[in-house]
Amino acid sequence: MSEHDEIDVERPNAARMYDYYLGGSTNFEVDRAAAEAGRGAMPDAETYARANRAFLGRAVRYLCSVGIDQFLDLGSGSPTKGNVHEIARQANPEARVAYVDIESVAVAHSRRILADVDGVTVTRADIRRPDTVLNAPGVAGLLDFSRPVAVLAVAIMPFVPDDAEAAAVMAAYRQACTSGSYVAVSHISQLAATAEQVAAAEEVMARTPTPVSWRTADRIVPLLEGCSLVPPGLVPVPLWRPDGPVEPEQVVRANAFGAVGVLP
């Protein structure tokens, strides 16, 4: 069975919904309908998606500035403007990027676009299975874990709703990395959203194969255990090393915290 044969077009998919919020085209009507339902439940859903994408770009640029040239992008989704390898290679044309996602459409589309790009791989795998991910040919065959690697977990850990499992998953990736490696995490959190909006948004995602859990800052901290956080630490994503002034309204409407940590 091919990856295309496994595509479920009857149920909305989080990766394709996220792509829709970002203005991409790798989505179906069922995804667009669910995304609009999500927007109805939480009007700032698109702001959240775009703020996370912007955080990813700033984090990658920072990581390149400290000499990181290997990236493991967990839950990479569909290719869109500002891909990790595009950003990283502006600083270092030799940067290597291993993309990982479980969603068939995202993976197939990524492979078509990146087929002729050296030093970039796309692996279809469940990020909740670190051993599988780390031993996949596209990861183990590309990244040298005896040297520093940046593990990017941007807007993906909400899809591991159990706190203990989420912490264990991130711990497994950290343990695979050598000293001097980095971890970048962003996570949906209740800032501007009301409790009713959070409940409604979680209910929308419960109708997909990938339910989510919003987390408060104190529940996000364990995902970065063992890391020394790069200033300014764990903050609302628009405030993590912004490129310019940030409107206070945009800070809370992003409804997400983000941080970058280094393994001592």
Whether the pLDDT of residue 2 is over 60: the answer is no
Whether 4 has a pLDDT exceeding 60, the answer reads: no
β-pair type (96-101, 70-74): parallel
Tokens for 101?
């996602």
**Residue type at 51 in one-letter notation:** A
The CATH superfamily label for domain 4-262 reads: Vaccinia Virus protein VP39 (3.40.50.150)
Q: What is the pLDDT of residues 145-172, one digit of tens each?
A: 999 999 999 999 999 999 999 999 999 9
In this prediction, residue 218 carries a pLDDT of 97
Domain ranges in the chain? 4-262
State pLDDT tens for residues 160-204: 999 999 999 999 999 999 999 999 999 999 998 889 888 888 887
Is the model's pTM score more than 0.85?
Answer: yes
pLDDT digit string, tens, across residues 112-156: 888 889 999 999 999 999 999 999 999 999 999 999 999 999 999
